């Protein structure tokens, strides 16, 4: 029986979100809040592993009360339990403080049911750092396996996991001890269409919610804004690249044109 915990986050849908031109930050009111797409793949993988090996899938998130919606989405996908840490004390956290708070919550979950595997999405679409997953692993002192795009085997008895990690020019096969932490790529799986009983369960579901006081042995100085040394010195919207040339015509014609441009400027491509 595996106990897998997926760490998830509710994010503004950056596909539709607008950037506030004055502060250069995401205008959160302009976009619906969704489950971070990478995290959906993390939950999906956890549920697939549960089906393969048997076990329990929990999800954990840190966020304001409306983030319950993201947990419900995970229940739809097949997660069994949801935990949420929600408190003003967590607000304004950077990746250092976030990974600290999540690690503390994971310790608390592990007291109820020991954790074999933690799965995170590769990164969030609002922060784009990809630091929280490895940060949690470091704090819990377990191996982080980033960029996982295939899980070959999990063996709880012998205490190991074998996965493929995505590299720039291929992949590497890695064997790790358990417990460990994966951060997963989108290509690891396709999100399945949730069965109706899961939808009904999710609509009824209410997660366990912990405040900072509910977490044991917490150093409050490491939470939220206080525990966040990150300073944003400048933030800007990257200018749209200018120039370029649009090719027109049928596919064949466009390929022809492209080929002649490439041949014409081949020095550019050789360097």
Partner 1 sequence: MPEKFDCIVVGAGPAGTACAYELAKAGVNVLLLERGEYPGSKNVMGGVLYRKMMEDIIPEFYKEAPLERPIVEQRFMLMDKESAVTFSYKGLEWGREPYNNFTVLRAKFDQWFAEKAVEQGALLVCETVALECIVENGRVVGVRTDRPDGEVYADVVVLADGVNSLLAKQLGFHREWRPDEVALATMEILKLDKKVIEERFNLEPGQGCTIELLGDATKGILGTGFLYTNKDTLSIGVGTLLSGLIKHKIKPYELLEYVKNHPMIRPYLQGSEPVEYLAHLIPEGGYHSMPKVVGDGVLVVGDAAQLVNAIHREGSNMAMTSGRLAAETIIMAKTYNDFSESMLDHYRLKLMESFIVQDLKKYKDATHHFDAFPQYFERYIPLLNRAASHMFTVDGASKWEKQRKIWRDLGSMKEKLKLARDVFKAWEVMK
What residues make contact with partner 1 under the rule CB under 8 A? Answer: 193-197, 199-200, 203-204
Instruction: Taking the CA atoms of 195, 197, 200 and 204 in sequence, report the sign of the dihedral they define.
Output: negative
C-beta of 195: minimal distance to partner 1 in Å?
Answer: 4
C-beta of 209: minimal distance to partner 1 in Å?
Answer: 18
Q: Which is closer to partner 1, CB of 170 or CB of 197?
A: 197
Q: Which is closer to partner 1, CB of 173 or CB of 199?
A: 199
Element (H, E) at 16: none
Element (H, E) at 151: strand 144-155
Q: Which is closer to partner 1, CB of 13 or CB of 107?
A: 13
C-beta of 194: minimal distance to partner 1 in Å?
Answer: 7
Give the CA distances from residue 175 to residues 53, 105, 178, 179, in Å, rounded to whole numbers and listed in that order.
Answer: 18, 27, 10, 12
Element (H, E) at 269: helix 266-270
Q: Which is closer to partner 1, CB of 204 or CB of 242?
A: 204
C-beta of 172: minimal distance to partner 1 in Å?
Answer: 35
Give the CA count within 13 Å in the CB-facing half-sphere of 137: 24
How far apart (Å, rounded) are the C-alpha atoms in residues 6 and 212?
20
Angle at 18 between CA 13 and CA 22, to 5 degrees: 140
Residue pair 146/183 in contact (Cβ under 8 Å)? The answer is yes
C-beta of 168: minimal distance to partner 1 in Å?
Answer: 36
C-beta of 184: minimal distance to partner 1 in Å?
Answer: 23
235 DSSP assignment: -
Q: Which is closer to partner 1, CB of 83 or CB of 205?
A: 205
C-beta of 206: minimal distance to partner 1 in Å?
Answer: 12
Q: Which is closer to partner 1, CB of 14 or CB of 257?
A: 14
Largest CA distance in the chain: 67
Q: Which is closer to partner 1, CB of 20 or CB of 257?
A: 20
Give the CA distances from residue 92 to residues 124, 208, 217, 218, 223, in Å, rounded to whole numbers and listed in that order.
Answer: 16, 22, 21, 17, 9
Task: For residue 216, give both structure tokens.
Answer: 């044991």
């Amino acid at each position: 029986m595996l106990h897998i915990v997926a760490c998830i986050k509710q994010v503004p849908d950056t596909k539709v979100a607008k950037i506030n031109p004055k502060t250069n930050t995401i205008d959160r009111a302009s976009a619906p809040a969704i489950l971070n797409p990478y995290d959906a793949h993390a939950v999906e993988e956890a549920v697939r592993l549960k089906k393969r090996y048997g076990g329990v899938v929990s999800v954990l998130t840190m966020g304001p009360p409306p983030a319950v919606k993201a947990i419900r989405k995970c229940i739809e996908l097949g997660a069994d339990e949801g935990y949420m840490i929600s408190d003003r004390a967590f607000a304004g956290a950077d990746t250092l403080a976030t990974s600290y708070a999540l690690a503390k919550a994971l310790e608390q979950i592990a007291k109820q049911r020991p954790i074999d595997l933690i799965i995170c999405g590769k990164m969030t679409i609002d922060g784009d750092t990809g630091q929280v997953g490895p940060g949690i692993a470091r704090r819990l002192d377990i191996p982080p396996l980033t960029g996982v795009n295939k899980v070959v085997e999990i063996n709880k008895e012998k205490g190991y996991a074998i996965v493929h990690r995505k590299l720039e020019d291929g992949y590497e096969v890695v064997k790790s001890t358990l417990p460990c932490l994966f951060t997963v790529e989108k290509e690891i799986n396709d999100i399945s269409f949730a069965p109706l009983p899961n939808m009904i369960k999710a609509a009824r579901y209410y997660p366990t919610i912990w405040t900072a006081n509910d977490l044991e042995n917490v150093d409050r100085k490491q939470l939220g804004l206080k525990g966040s040394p990150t300073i944003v010195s400048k933030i800007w919207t990257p200018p749209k690249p200018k120039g370029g040339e649009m090719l027109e015509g049928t596919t064949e014609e466009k390929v022809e044109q492209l080929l002649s441009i490439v041949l014409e400027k081949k020095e550019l491509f050789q360097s």
